[in-house]
Amino acid sequence: MDPLRKIVKGCLQNRKDDQYRLYARFSRKMFGICLRYSASYDEAQDILQEGFVKVFSSLPSFKWQGSLEAWIRRIFVNTAIEKYRERVYHLPAEEVMDYEGYSSSNKGPDMLNARDILALVQQLPLQYRLVFNLYALEGYSHREIAEALQIAESTSRSNLARARMLLKDKLVREMQVVVKAI
């Protein structure tokens, strides 16, 4: 039997060792996703925990009609969206939408590594970050984003434009720092 199917079978029988194996297999990738959707390491950890609990609880509904990884990834994206909805109800609108500022890494755009780019994305305002992630990395359409976040399609478009502008602004500034240095 395919080792992954064996692990899933064990998880369905509530075998803790198999649950741990499944976690060990996907936790690094999923934590990468969690980091993209969150503003901090702690927040990412919350999404990771909640996401895996949902994965284990929902495994009986997985029918092997697609890739397990894609299915798990979908759960994590949905968990991030749910977290956003929870936060939206508790935060004043300006905190969801406002520009929060960036930290400087003093590197040119091509010299920025994944960690630096992640830091830029993490510093986007909550709603911009979510819209940008869903559009640019998950391939959602504006209509799908609008439905998921319960916002207007036009809001999704403007949030994406603002997110791009903020990221571009930062990249340009970084480039200027590099040019001056040369």
Partner 1 sequence: MEEHYIDRRVREELEGLEANPPVEAWAEISDALALRRKRSVRYMLSGIAASVAMLAVSVLTYWLLTDRVDTIPGAYSETQMPQAISPVAPALTVSSPGIIMNPGAERPEISTSGYLFASLGEDVLQPADDNSLALLTVDLPERYPVTELMAQYPSGSFSGSVNKPYTERIYDFFAAFSSNEPHKFRVGAHFSPQSSYRVYSGGVGPAYEDIPYGALEEAMLTMGAGISGYYNFAPGWTLQTGLNYFRTGQYIRDIVSYNHPSSLPLYGQERTTGRVLHPQTILTSQGSVALFDQYHYFADVQSSRVITSKEGLEGTEIRTLKRSGEGISQVFSYIEMPVVFRYHILRRGGIDLHVKGGMSGTYLIGNDVYLGRNIYQNPVGETFGVREINFSAIGGFSVELPLTNRLYLHIEPTAQLFLNPVLREGFMMGHAYPFGYSLVTGISYGF
Does residue 62 touch partner 1 according to CB under 8 A? Answer: no
Q: Please give the size of the binding site for partner 1, defined by CB under 8 A.
A: 37
Minimum Å gap between C-beta 86 and partner 1 is: 17
Distances (CA, A) of 79 to 55, 90, 100, 166, 177: 10, 17, 23, 25, 38
Task: Please select the residue that binds partner 1; options are 108, 164, 177, 178, rule is CB under 8 A.
Answer: 164
Within 96-155, the residues that bind partner 1 by CB under 8 A are 109, 112-114, 117-118, 121, 132, 135-137
Q: The tokens of 68 are what?
A: 């397990």
Task: Please select the residue that binds partner 1; options are 2, 3, 16, 93, rule is CB under 8 A.
Answer: 16
Contacting residues toward partner 1, per CB under 8 A: 14, 16-17, 19-20, 23, 27-29, 31-33, 35-36, 41, 45, 48-49, 52-53, 56-57, 109, 112-114, 117-118, 121, 132, 135-137, 164, 167-168, 171
